[in-house]
Chains A and B, each alone.
Chain A
Amino acid sequence: MGDYQVLNTRATRVDGPVKATGQAKYADDFKFQGMLYASILQSPLAHARILRIDTSKAKKLPGVKAVVTSKEAGLIKYGVSPARYDETLFAHDKVRYVGDEIAAVAASDPDIALEALSLIKVDYEELPAVFDMFEAMKEGAPLIHDEFPGNMNAEVHQEFGDTEAALQSCDLVVDHTFLNKRQDAAFLEPHSCVAVFENPGRLTLYTSTQVPHYVMRTVAMTLQIPVGNVRVIKPYVGGGFGPKCEATPLEMSCGLLSKITGQPVKMTYSREQVFLHSRARHQFYAEMSLGVMKDGTMVALRNKAVLDGGAYTSFGIATVYYSGSLLGGPYKLKSMKYDGYRAYTNKPACGAQRGHGGVAHRACFEQLIDITAEKLGIDPIDMRLKNIMVTGDMTVNELDMSSLGMKECIEAIRAGSGWNNKKGKLPKGKGIGMACGFFVSGAGYPIYRSDTYHSTVVIKLSEDGGVANVMTGSAEIGQGSDTAMAMIAAETLGIKLNDVRVYSGDTDYSVDLGAYSSRQTLMTGHATKEAAEDVKNQIASYLAQELNVPVASITFVDGIVKFDGGPGNFEKLRTNYIKEHRGWTDPPTGEYLTFREAARMAYLKAGTIVGTGKYKPPRLGGSYKGAAVGTSPAYGCSAQIVEVSVDLETGEITVDGMTDAHDCGLAINKTSVEGQMQGSLSMGLGECLFEEVKFDSRGRIINPSLGEYKIPTALDMPKVKSIIVESHEPNGPYGAKEVGEGAIMPTIPAILNAIYDATGVRINELPVTSERLFMAMKNKT
């Protein structure tokens, strides 16, 4: 690890104070003169033909300024991946789930907007619906999209090596299946947006999103506004976790209504609408066979996935690829076969959520490894270590582990949890389990086909030279990216963290694909570093010329400039600076030239000092179909050990302790890294033990609230021991890589393996409520 001034510390977040005092502004906190309030009419039926929409009464309601349906919005198809644009802003021929958008209203008051919705009359012809993914794929099932026979939204078939032959050659082949449940991301801030359309034709959106860039493109496309005239500003965002990775009907409706009325338009989803919009974790069914040799060597993996996609594609194509590609590691395999199917059903669309596509299949695989290890009489940790990949290894599906501290993570949790004294030695009802996982640090390609940079950054110095303003389109959504970028800029420029200001989340600042696939630390980080180097080089060249010293002799550290490691002879610059600085209150002092002085003097010579940086990944991965999903410049990895107590009478589970080690390359900010690890664990614990979006027989969500859809509270979470394992990632800025999603990978299987250890019962369906565990224990005896 290098000798850093700013990086690798526990610097406090740059947005901490505004958030602690309530000053931080989120989308719903914005108000504009003449602002209207909008609301969306959503389908009460899961599958129906729309015969007629009558908005005349709604239009006549005093206070209503505009009512829009597909007639006004048009039928331009959009979605996430251009290969599967299957949505229109408003349904016109059919509705496909309870919640499908039909119309929107803007009114002078939110209550009037709601009343207007109730006055819109829609005549439907109800159609048979299908809610189960297996039913949906059967012959004769109701067809949801005419273009997709068999409701088959996407299919993936990949094979690396000859899997069947490899399985045949194994000493032992073990099978396992697994079923998770549809999850909600349950971010605390419901989606909200204010659209401001101003003449001549410019639309600005203030919106709660993870991806200002993609929202800009989608909104421009669907509303037929030149993309250069759309600006998306992301204020502070109250969590995203994946579902805020795409443009929403809320954003497009606000934009359209503002365009029509010429007034600013705001809309905020109710909590129920957040559930209806969904785009969160799919339901996955996993079926796997692992072939091993007697000594525990893993040889081949056969993996099948069925995904319940809901009514539209959203991120689903990437999801169904990830369920296969993210099993290629962190264990060496000779061959791997994957068949994935994503089915349409008449439910809200599922999309990306933390650990995109990988979480359920990882849960299945890591249980399967434990089952296999037990059959072979090998300790689960030893079994994993025997097969573990190390830095420089390549998975069968050509993911290049350019750094991989997986082994170190396992050793760290083994020591940190006291595994050796506990495994196999705990009383009945107590259990310990472990699991591993890894995740990408950004996707190799943007979601649309383009040679675009994935990130550009502009750094502009202030007039007095003292402040570096970092301008980026990247999205701070709570993960701490603004702080990470400030730290990278400060370290690179050799100035204090306090002297960096980050302006982010605005499509006018720079190009950045946004906060998804755990990409910003690596990609925006690279661009920030490059921009800072550009600035630094400009100042150093100026100094070299002015003072007649070699550029190589100049270094910047902690806000001062050194020449050959010493103060050098800079008197003439200081004298000039002070002359320039007359009347200001903070003359430079000290035996060293300050960065501020140097930057100011460079400005006098060259004009405003601006540095730019950019990043796009090199060509990555194999040439097989689908190689684009899963390939990344770098992979973070983690290992976890969970300890549980199970009440053998009732099946009630208490998670007593969690030990988590994550390799994030260089930890830019250790506190933020731990924060991501701990947050991931609580989301994984929730999904494992109680989270499930439930539907009635007509496709209506029966628990669309945070009271009925339970997420972990402070009482559900045990103390977590977080261990940061640092490797050096050659493809990351300063050796850094992801932490935000990889950390959730091992959580579910580690809990499930611990439950097995405590009870002798294998649970292969989530959530593990006490009822489910009780029944499983009962059926076993």
Chain B
Amino acid sequence: MKRIIKLTINGKPVETAVSPNQTLLQFLRDDMNLTGTKHGCGLGDCGACTVILDGKAVNSCLVLAIQADNSEILTIEGLAQDGKLHPIQQSFVDKGAIQCGFCTPGMILSAKALLDQKPNPSELEIRTALSGNLCRCTGYQKIVEAIGEAAEVIRMREES
């Protein structure tokens, strides 16, 4: 039996029917066509499916779509504003933090959740916040650098 859920995705209200066993990841990718959220394992191991749900980074493969009822969700598609990259996206591009790009949406959203809580994280805090997001390409170094730089850009923007 399908159930109706109401939620906000990337600032837009959505009301739709979902099956009770459908994961949030499947719902976003298959029903909403938001394929920027990636499926790397389906088991909560890789973080490629990370989205921000009510301010927290979650593995969308471990959340049922019905559990997202009444929530607010941010996916990678909702981060750039008016065609302008978010500072985290921009620094990922500038710093070479992206290779194959499959971990990138999840990484960026984990980073966003971190910086929303902690605008000035230490390197260890950044690495800890990313420890649930696997990347096989980069060795993480440029990702960590990019997040550090984005944090600075955001802080400066907020100060001015």
Contact = CB atoms under 8 A, between A and B. Distances in A.
B134 A674 contact: no
B20 interface: no
B55 interface: no
A678 B142 contact: yes
Majority secondary structure, B binding face: loop
B102 A189 contact: yes
B119 interface: no
A188 B46 contact: yes
B36 A22 contact: yes
A23 interface: yes
Contact of A188 (B35, B48, B128, B142): B48
Nearest to B143: A714
Interface stretch (B1-9, B64-72, B75-83, B151-159): B75-83
Interface string B87-100: 00110111110111
- Most chain-A CB neighbours within 10 Å: which of B80, B94, B105, B136? B136
A678 B98 contact: no
B149 to A, nearest CB: 13
Interface stretch (A91-99, A221-229, A235-243, A368-376): A235-243
Interface stretch (A50-58, A112-120, A477-485): A477-485
Interface in A1-16: 10, 12-13, 15-16
A679 B77 contact: no
Contacts of A156: none
B36 to A, nearest CB: 2
Nearest to B123: A719
B116 interface: no
Nearest to B124: A715
A660 to B, nearest CB: 10
Contacts of A415: none
Contact of B103 (A18, A22, A185, A188): A188
B104 A679 contact: no
A258 interface: no
Contact of B136 (A16, A22, A674, A711): A711
A478 B101 CA distance: 7
The interface residues of chain A, by DSSP majority, are classed as loop
Contacts of A21: 36, 76-77, 79-80, 85, 89
A211 to B, nearest CB: 16
A707 B44 contact: yes
B40 A190 contact: yes
A634 interface: no
Given A15-B101, A20-B93, A719 B85 contact: no
B43 A20 contact: no
A675 B138 contact: yes
Given A20-B85, A189-B102, A678 B138 contact: yes
B128 to A, nearest CB: 7
A12 B75 CA distance: 24
A382 to B, nearest CB: 29
A671 B137 contact: no
B139 interface: yes
B114 to A, nearest CB: 12
B89 A20 contact: yes
A720 B141 contact: yes
B44 A675 contact: no
A435 to B, nearest CB: 17
B98 A271 contact: no
Given A22-B76, A188-B102, A478-B100, A679 B89 contact: no
A714 B131 contact: yes
Given A705-B43, A713-B130, A679 B136 contact: yes
Residue of A187, A479, A679, A711 with most partner-chain B CB within 10 A: A679
Contacts of A25: 35
Contacts of B89: 17, 20-21
Interface string A149-161: 0000000000000
A707 B134 contact: no
Contacts of B130: 713-714
Contacts of B35: 22, 25-26, 28-29
B39 interface: yes
A53 to B, nearest CB: 29
Given A28-B39, A707-B44, A679 B93 contact: no
A270 B42 contact: yes
A18 B90 CA distance: 11
Interface in A639-683: 671-672, 674-675, 678-683
B14 interface: no
A359 B41 CA distance: 27
Nearest to A15: B101
Interface in B99-119: 99-105, 108
B79 A236 contact: no
Interface in B25-57: 29, 33-46, 48
B73 interface: no
A20 B143 CA distance: 12
Given A189-B38, A189-B100, A715-B127, A706 B137 contact: no
A275 to B, nearest CB: 11
A203 B103 CA distance: 30
Contacts of A682: 136, 138-140
Contacts of A189: 38, 40, 100, 102
B97 to A, nearest CB: 9
B24 interface: no
A720 B145 CA distance: 12
A61 interface: no
B135 interface: yes
A13 B144 contact: no
Contact of B100 (A23, A187, A672): A187
B40 A188 contact: yes
Interface in A142-182: none
A188 B96 contact: no
Interface of B: 29, 33-46, 48, 75-77, 79-80, 85, 89-90, 92-96, 98-105, 108, 126-128, 130-144
The 6 closest A-B pairs by CB, nearest first: A22-B36, A478-B100, A238-B102, A19-B101, A678-B139, A22-B76
Given A187-B102, A188-B102, 18 more contacts: A16-B98, A19-B101, A20-B104, A21-B79, A26-B102, A29-B29, A187-B136, A188-B135, A189-B100, A238-B101, A238-B103, A239-B136, A270-B42, A271-B43, A478-B101, A675-B99, A679-B99, A714-B144
Interface of A: 10, 12-13, 15-26, 28-29, 31, 185-190, 236-239, 241, 268, 270-271, 477-480, 671-672, 674-675, 678-683, 705-707, 711-715, 717, 719-720
5 contacts: A20-B101, A20-B108, A186-B134, A189-B102, A712-B140
